[in-house]
């Protein structure tokens, strides 16, 4: 799968990092992880799970029937685990670099104009 991961993909993998989950639980977990910004619908979620399964990042864990409804639980595969870790590290470095630049900018007084002004 191409990296950098798109945000929904990253959050689905992050949701599954804790434990195997079924579709309904993944939707709730992604909404919580994104502070409610991202609300996946089932058609979109299962399409994404198919792509992640094709790419070997997600595996089927088990099936259960609850209240007459079939629930399949999905888990991160070892490849998915490694991909999520690498992507998280990439994002962490970007955040650190941006934070350092912003701190330096806030600490530095604005330099006066030294050239190019009207005499």
Q: Which of 19, 54, 89, 96 binds another protein (CB under 8 A)?
A: 54
Query: What number of CA atoms fall less than 13 Å from residue 20's CA on the CB side?
Result: 13
43 is a contact residue toward another protein (CB under 8 A): yes
41 is a contact residue toward another protein (CB under 8 A): yes
Give dist(CA 9, CA 35) in Å, integer.
16
CB of 3 to another protein, least distance (A): 14
Q: Which of 3, 19, 32, 47 binds another protein (CB under 8 A)?
A: 47
How far apart, in Å, are the Cα atoms of 19 and each of 92, 99, 110?
Answer: 23, 31, 49
Residue numbers of the site for another protein (CB under 8 A)? 22-24, 27, 41-47, 49-50, 53-54, 60, 63, 69-72, 74
């Amino acid at each position: 799968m191409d990296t950098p991961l798109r945000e929904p993909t990253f959050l689905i993998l992050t949701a599954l990092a804790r434990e195997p989950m079924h579709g309904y639980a993944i939707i709730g977990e992604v909404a919580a992880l994104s502070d409610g910004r991202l609300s996946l619908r089932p058609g979109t979620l299962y399409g994404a799970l198919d792509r992640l399964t094709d790419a070997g990042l997600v595996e089927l864990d088990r099936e259960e029937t609850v209240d007459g409804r079939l629930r399949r639980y999905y888990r991160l595969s070892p490849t998915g685990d490694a991909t999520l870790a690498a992507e998280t590290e990439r994002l962490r470095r970007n955040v650190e670099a941006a934070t350092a630049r912003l701190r330096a900018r806030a600490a530095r007084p604005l330099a006066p104009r030294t050239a190019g002004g009207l005499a």
